[in-house]
Amino acid sequence: MTTAELDTPRELGQVYSTADKAFRRTTAGIGMTVLALTGAIGLFLGYQAIPTLRRYGLSFFTENQWLPQRDVVGLSSVLLGTVEVALVALVVGFPLALMTALYISEYAPRRLKSWFVGLIDLMAAVPSIIYGLWGFFFLQPQTIHVSRWLAQHFGWIPVFHVDTDPNAATWAQTKFTASAFIAGLAVSMMVIPLACAVMRSVFAQAPLGEREAALALGATRWGMIRTVVIPFGQGGIIGGTMLALGRALGETVAVLLIISPAFDIKVNILQVGTETTSALIAGLFGEASKAQLSALLTAGFVLFVLTLAVNTVAAVFVNRSRSGAATEI
């Protein structure tokens, strides 16, 4: 019986040329290397974390003090601080990034567009130590007045509460410095260009046909943006924001420069002192003993898992959306 007579699905194959085969294998190999490296980092950190996790168990996540000399080590206050700084960065950075992206893609005059894009990209190119210095020497002396104002008017909300009288004539300025809020502001400057670039590239791909349809119905430009550009760009908005969150969670140097370490469980972001995971590692790494090193690597492992999770969630959101195919994340 020939294949033509068999009414079953056929095995379909084809012959690849040698060059094609070689190219496939090379690219596949390189791709695998990248995956393997990421996996290796995770494995290494995970392996290093085993002794610490075995020793402290669940208390590693519930204990808030970090006193290896007294054999008390825990991440709860540090993780809280990490999340607080990242959230401040997002709350401040998200609207700025979204508005900037909309302005550049929809409103900016054509001639200025590439200038703005270049400037935003330049923001991303500034080393984070510069943002740290800027945050410490410039932003902080200005921001404590904003912090005080917030504490004066919204102090009844726990987040904005500060353990001092903000209305006092000689108010305790140092109570308002080195806070999660100020660190978050500096970090927001670093995540804005990242989020903005993703959002902008997605907005620019909103289909011309739908844009024209909205305009031809008599829509204002803002109406068109609301009906066409933003729904289309949803994936990019979420993806860019999550990407920014991932970056904010891991930001180290700028935070290290601004905050003064404190290991209390507290939500008052305006008050002096906080600690983030990456700043903890960077701050203590140099003088750590072997056991302390293992604890720090465990903290690193937790941070790794956290950022991986955030980025994975971002990727899922973006891939499900219509604009996702074109969004690089």
Partner 1 sequence: MSTIDFLEDSLAHSAPESSAVGVDAVAVSAWFGSNKVLERVNLSMPPRTVTALIGPSGCGKSTFLRILNRMHESVPAAKMAGEVRLNGQDIYAPSVRITHMRKRIGMVFQKPNPFPAMSIAENVTAGLKLTGTKVSRSERSDIIEGCLRRGGLWNEVKDRLDEPGQALSGGQQQRLCIARSLAVNPDVLLMDEPCSALDPTSTRRIEETIAELAPDVTIVIVTHNMQQAARVSQQCAFFLAEQGSPGGIVEAGTTKQLFEDPHDSRTADYVNGRFG
- Applying CB under 8 A, the residues found at the interface with partner 1 are 110, 207, 209-210, 212-220, 223-224, 227-228, 231-232, 322
Nearer to partner 1 by C-beta: 179 or 205? 205
* CA distances, 79 to each of 50, 85, 250, 297, 303 (Å): 19, 10, 11, 14, 9
Instruction: State the helix-helix crossing angle for 230-250 and 180-203, rounded to 10 degrees.
Output: 140
* In contact, 238 and 192? CB cutoff 8 Å: no
| Closer residue to partner 1 (CB): 228 or 256 | 228
Question: Considering beta carbons, is residue 212 or 328 the nearer one to partner 1?
Answer: 212
CB of 223 to partner 1, least distance (A): 5
**Which CB atom, from 106 or from 264, has the smaller least distance to partner 1?**
106
| Upper half-sphere CA count for residue 222 (Cβ side, 13 Å) | 1
Alpha-carbon gap, residue 236 to 322, rounded angstroms = 10
- Decide: 102 and 116 in contact? Cβ < 8 Å: no
Residue of 53, 16, 1, 41 whose CA lies nearest to 308: 41
Q: Supply the minimum distance, in Å, between the C-beta of residue 196 and partner 1.
A: 23
**Residue number, 93 or 236, with CB nearest to partner 1:** 236
Q: How many alpha carbons lie under 13 Å from residue 37 in its C-beta half-sphere? A: 6
CB of 32 to partner 1, least distance (A): 37
Integer Rg of the chain from CA: 25
Tell me how far, at minimum, the Cβ of 218 lies from partner 1, in Å. Answer: 3
Nearer to partner 1 among residue 92 and residue 224 (C-beta): 224
Closest CB 45 distance from partner 1, rounded Å: 41
* Whether the Cβ atoms of residue 147 and residue 202 lie closer than 8 Å to each other: no
What is the spatial distance between Cα 174 and Cα 146, in angstroms, rounded to a whole number? 14
CB of 3 to partner 1, least distance (A): 36
Which one-letter amino acid corresponds to residue 323? S
The one-letter amino acid at 120: I
- Cβ closer to partner 1: 214 or 280? 214
Q: Please, what is the minimum distance in Å from the beta carbon of residue 322 to partner 1?
A: 7
